[in-house]
């Protein structure tokens, strides 16, 4: 047996960075008291979601990973509690800026950084203004509690993201998120669709998946505002939801798994045995045509 308890956090963010860090720490401590070994905070939890509008002053929020205050604080907390914590942050690297996540192991070590690969651009989600496309490629990390794959928000809509991490040996998938209402169509609610896509990743790859979203209504510039719909969840290796938050409440979700039991299920099911990579050439193109040989 290789038991592991996974946790997702869900909270509202205020304009006060220190308050958000304090709130995140409190929820991580709550999760650890519930036995969690790996705890996932939401995307960009230090501030309200700042990508609603293009604002040059907000570009200054990007900071290097080395010495980043949120990472340093979580490193101390992870070491104290003996838990693994992926930390979403706005990264500056040279002249580039990335939507990044640092994977902090249970001893406080930073195992490395993943930079968000797929960058959205739409009304209320102006991320191409703030972030370059990630240059790390998909990554997996060997933590104290198993090998994890971590990607960020818009990445979760692409099945290639989850499959790539699974092929690289991930045993669990994690997606920190900031998603809610759409400025151009306030009646459009993607919450159920959002969940089902990721449940499909869990089921198709036969491994648990944790998704952490934020809640609350946050004002942007020029009178805009987004309402984030929470609905964070943890799915099992068949895609079934084992734990789910509502749309408005600060929440800590936990679920327990046996990684050895899941590995046996994954091997026995045969989906990785029966793959045909030589047929997947269209996936390597934008227009779906098989690449020239």
Query: Active-site residues: which are they?
Result: 43, 116, 153
How many angstroms separate the CA atoms of 18 and 15, rounded? 9
Report the SS3 class of residue 122.
Answer: strand
- By CB atoms closer than 10 A (0-12, 13-18, 19+), residue 227 is middle
> Is 213:175 a contact under the CB 8 Å cutoff?
no
In the sheet with 251-258, reading across from the earlier edge strand, the strands are: 38-40, 3-10, 251-258
> Is 213:138 a contact under the CB 8 Å cutoff?
no
Residue with tokens 């759409």: 182
Distance, first Cα to last Cα, the chain: 46
DSSP 12: B
Residue 220: partners with Cβ closer than 8 Å, 6 or more residues away:
52, 53, 124, 226
């Amino acid at each position: 047996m290789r038991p592991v308890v996974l946790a997702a956090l869900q909270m509202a963010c205020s304009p006060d960075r220190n308050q958000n860090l304090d709130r995140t720490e409190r929820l991580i401590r709550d999760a650890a008291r519930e036995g969690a070994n790996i705890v996932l905070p939401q995307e960009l939890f230090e501030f309200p979601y700042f990508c609603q509008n293009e604002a040059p002053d907000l570009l200054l929020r990007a900071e290097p990973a080395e010495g980043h205050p949120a990472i340093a604080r979580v490193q101390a907390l992870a070491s104290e509690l003996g838990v693994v914590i992926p930390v979403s942050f706005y990264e500056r690297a040279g002249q580039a800026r990335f939507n990044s996540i640092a994977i902090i192991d249970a001893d406080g070590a930073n195992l490395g950084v993943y930079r968000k690969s797929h960058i959205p651009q739409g009304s209320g989600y102006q991320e191409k203004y703030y972030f370059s496309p990630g240059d790390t490629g998909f990554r997996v990390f060997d933590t104290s509690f198993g090998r994890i794959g971590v990607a960020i928000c818009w990445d979760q809509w692409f099945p290639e993201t989850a499959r790539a991490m699974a092929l690289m040996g991930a045993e669990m998938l994690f997606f920190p998120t900031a998603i809610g209402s759409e400025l151009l169509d306030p009646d459009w609610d993607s919450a159920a669709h959002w969940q089902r896509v990721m449940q499909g990743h869990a089921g198709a790859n036969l491994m648990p998946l944790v998704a952490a979203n934020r809640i609350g209504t946050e004002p942007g510039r020029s009178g805009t505002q987004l309402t984030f719909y929470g609905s964070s969840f943890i799915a099992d290796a068949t895609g079934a939801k084992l734990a789910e938050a509502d749309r408005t409440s600060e929440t800590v979700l936990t679920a327990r798994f046996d990684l050895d039991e899941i590995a046996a299920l994954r091997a026995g099911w045969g989906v990785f045995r029966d793959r045909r990579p030589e047929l997947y050439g269209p996936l390597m193109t934008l227009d779906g045509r098989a690449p020239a040989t």
